[in-house]
Amino acid sequence: MGLIRLSIALVTRDRPDWLQRCLQSWRAQDVQPFEIIVSDDSCDALQTKMRQIAEHFGARWIAGPQRGLYANRNTAFRAADGTHIMSADDDHTHPEEFVSAVVGATESANRSFGGAG
């Protein structure tokens, strides 16, 4: 789909079951995001498991800053390489056509307002 490379900046902390469910939802999309960054603020005891889950779903795992939700979200945003970034939490799931709808709406808005991407 066009010029849009959608990065998902996903934050998580100490919830491996939620992270797995969330990433399953992202990987069930009819159009895949450009990348998924998982910024993980989990305790030391869970970081290995969280990293394995992220990598199993082809997401890029990074250690969070351990300074709260907003700092963790900022860390995920700074790691993103896409043209557009969407924030996500580990307790979010979406219908299969969610990414295609977001990318389509973004492309349409860019055309309407004369944007390049």
Do residues 16 and 50 lie in contact, with contact meaning Cβ atoms separated by under 8 Å? Answer: yes
pLDDT for 68: 96
- pTM, to two decimals: 0.92
Q: What is the mean pLDDT of residues 58-82?
A: 98
Confidence of residue 2 (pLDDT cuts 50, 70, 90): low
Domain extent listing, the chain: 6-111
Closest C-alpha to 36, from 97, 110, 99: 99
pLDDT for 109: 86
Domain 6-111: what homologous superfamily? Spore Coat Polysaccharide Biosynthesis Protein SpsA; Chain A (3.90.550.10)
Query: Per-residue pLDDT tens for 71-110?
Result: 999 999 999 999 999 999 999 999 999 999 999 999 888 8
Segment holding 23, helix H or strand E: helix 16-27
